[in-house]
Amino acid sequence: MKTPTSTPDNSIELNLTSMIDVIFLLLIFFVLTTDFKEPEKLLPTNLNGSGAISSEIAQTQEERDLGKIVARVAVDASGKIEYAIDGKRVDSLQNVEATFVALQEIDPNVPVIVDPDANAPLESVLDVYDCARRAGLAKIKFAASPEALAAAR
């Protein structure tokens, strides 16, 4: 019997060319799909620092911005809660909701600004907000005084 002159090579050889190609393709993919924007540091708000809604209940039709409805909640000298929508007094919370329903039928996207007096109880302010939501109005905001805006900063 003849002895083999060469020994079989049992070593494993890796082909790294295809693996390197895949890595470069992944690298190109991630570089092209990465968003290089700087993250926002503050959340956007709709409050502007120029001022708040007028604190007087009575507003004339000329003073009112026709694109906004202002719902005012105040407390009179006797401690009774008063409601006003665009400067017109409303005698009860049910009439406030009825007014909001009528406004929603005209324009469901009309913005409503709830402007509470400093002494108005939170429950009454939230009742007006709830009336607007039940009426189907979606754009409901709260007015803020310049002092409250300065304190929030």
Residue 133 burial (CB count, 10 A): 13
Report the pLDDT value the prediction gives residue 41, as an integer from 0 to 100.
63
Could you read off the pLDDT tens digit of each residue along the chain, which spans 153 residues? Answer: 666 666 666 777 778 888 999 999 999 999 998 877 766 666 555 555 555 554 444 444 333 344 778 888 888 888 888 888 888 888 888 888 888 888 888 877 888 888 888 778 888 888 888 888 888 887 888 877 666 556 555
DSSP-assigned letters across all residues of 17-72? HHHHHHHHHHHHHHHHH---PPPPSS---S--TT----S-S---TTTS-TT-EEEE
Inter-CA distances, 46 with 10, 56, 93, 134, 143, Å: 73, 22, 27, 23, 10
Report the pLDDT value the prediction gives residue 133, as an integer from 0 to 100.
86
Report the pLDDT value the prediction gives residue 23, as an integer from 0 to 100.
95
Inter-CA distances, 113 with 48, 64, 146, Å: 14, 12, 16
Q: What is d(CA 121, CA 74) in angstroms, rounded to the nearest whole number? A: 9
Query: pTM above 0.75?
Result: no
Report the pLDDT value the prediction gives residue 65, as an integer from 0 to 100.
40
Strand partners, 142: 114
What domains are defined for the chain?
Answer: 69-152 (3.30.420.270)
Q: For the purposes of burial, counting CB atoms within 10 Å of the CB of 96, is it exposed (0-12), middle (13-18) or buried (19 or more)?
A: buried
Report the pLDDT value the prediction gives residue 150, as an integer from 0 to 100.
60
